Amino acid sequence: MAPDLAKRIRDVSRTIQLVGVAVKRPAWAAALVVLLASAAAQAAEDSVPLPHGWIGTTSDWVRGFGIAFALLNLALLVFAWRGLRHGITPTSRGWLFVAVGLVPLMVAFLSFAHGLEESATVSACGSCHVMTPFVQDLQNVKSDTLAATHFKNRYIRENQCYTCHSNYGLGGTIKAKFEGLGHVWRYAVGAYTLPINLAQPYPNVRCLGCHGASQKFQNAAGHPKEDMHSLLDGTVSCIGCHGPAHPEQKKAASR
């Protein structure tokens, strides 16, 4: 075991003990165990040392708090059930309001926030087997497709599929999420055909949003200034010259 990892795990254990004593809530302590253990596991898989004091990502914390609220709600339901044995009292009504109304809303919100964040990951995109060839190519260091080139050179640090296949701003995020739900539904009911194709041509603005202001793009011999307007208005496709974005697929009938 690497010294840094061993030290981080010891720090995690010490933190769990301190939190368990200070908070005196088994639910919170259990959730922090899950949260910090996840952080330690991720640190073990990361070849690059993480910054000093790193205690997990936003997704890790959202997951941890969601578990904590779920466990807390179970405890509140037990208190409410015990209170009802003595009849409906103001105290039992208070427990029921918190256990049945308030805390479930918190759990639902955190679950939604965590699910929304996780749905943008490559693993989420590859959870359907029809996407397996795309993810395999993406992570293939010997592949020369655009997706693999961006991934292996870390031109896009994380959530590579979502970054390239969603537009900018709040509207782009909402549109991408709804389209993702549509993809899941069509996959579940088998309403899709192979090969998988984009519903509409890939817009240049998604490429130029990152590359358009770079000196490498502006000074490239293949991007003469007199042809720049053709790239901006989409007359000439970026993928037409720099593709393919993904490996060629075999044709097959729908399920």
Q: Provide the residue-wise pLDDT of the chain in tens; the chain has 255 residues.
A: 444 545 555 554 554 454 444 444 555 555 555 555 555 555 444 567 777 888 877 777 877 887 888 888 888 888 777 777 777 777 777 777 888 888 888 888 877 777 778 888 898 888 888 899 999 999 999 999 999 999 999 999 889 999 998 876 666 777 888 888 888 888 888 888 888 888 788 889 889 888 888 888 888 888 888 888 888 888 889 988 888 999 987 665 444
Predicted pLDDT at 16: 44
CA 178 to each of CA 83, 182, 184, 210, 238: distance values in angstroms, whole numbers, following the listed order = 44, 6, 10, 24, 26
pTM assigned to the model: 0.61
CA 123 to the chain's CA centroid: 8
Amino acid at 35: L
Tell me the pLDDT tens digit for each residue of 169-190. 666 777 888 888 888 888 888 8
3-state secondary structure of 194: strand
Angle between helices 58-84 and 103-118 (to 10 degrees): 160
Give the domain ranges of the chain: 3-46+54-118
CA 27 to the chain's CA centroid: 25
164: buried, middle or exposed (CB in 10 Å: 19+, 13-18, 0-12)? middle
